[in-house]
Amino acid sequence: MRELILGGARSGKSALAERLAQESNRSVTYIATATAGDAEMQQRIAQHQQRRPADWQLVEEPIRLADILQQEASESRCLLVDCLTLWLTNLLLADDQTLFDEQRALLLEALPQLPGRILFVSNEVGLGIVPMGELSRRFQDEAGRLNQAMATGCDRVIFTVAGLPQVLKGEQL
């Protein structure tokens, strides 16, 4: 089962994904896409680490997400990817259109074949104003396109607002 959990900043999407992973009764691998580029991001990462159970495995992969998913996915495991928008940011900042196109295509191609339970966390960034900067507009556009493509390929899509999950597609919680 593939699930996409969307929400804004501090909406509760990561906490929900962590709860669902814990309740899956499978071994859990947390796939982190963030890179700790500054002290504030290091603090955010530390907060996520403190919330996770000690028996969860951790894989850090900022770019080659499809490769890691194919290596780690199995019927007996639950993978939690947090988050797609940080992964997208890493690709856009790499300033290599070929890498961006390649990695996005590989993820979408791998998605239907992945066994086990996979939880994808992503920010919904299209509810506000259109940003002024070119890179910010591109990020917003690409995040929207990625979320739409992932939603099509996932069995369940959940939108989280103020800690309240709203199932948009698939089985109710």
Q: Which domains does the chain have, with CATH numbers?
A: 2-169 (3.40.50.300)
Each residue's pLDDT tens digit, 32-42: 998 777 777 67
* Active-site residue (options: 19, 26, 48, 138): 48
Q: Which of 47, 15, 58 is nearest to 162 (CA)?
A: 15
Active site residue 63: no
Of 24, 43, 22, residue with least CA distance to 34: 43
CA distances from 155 to 10, 120, 130 (A): 24, 11, 30
Cβ atoms of 156 and 170 within 8 Å: the answer is yes
User: pLDDT by residue for the chain (173 residues), tens digit each?
Assistant: 999 999 998 999 999 999 999 999 999 999 999 877 777 767 877 777 778 888 999 999 999 999 999 999 999 999 999 999 999 999 999 978 899 999 999 999 999 999 999 999 999 998 888 888 999 999 999 999 999 999 999 999 999 999 999 999 999 99
For tokens 């999407």, the residue is 13
- Quote the CA–CA distance of 82 and 160 in Å, as a whole number: 15
Determine whether 170 is exposed, middle or buried from the number of CB atoms within 10 Å of its CB (0-12, 13-18, 19+): middle
Q: What is the pLDDT of residue 51?
A: 81
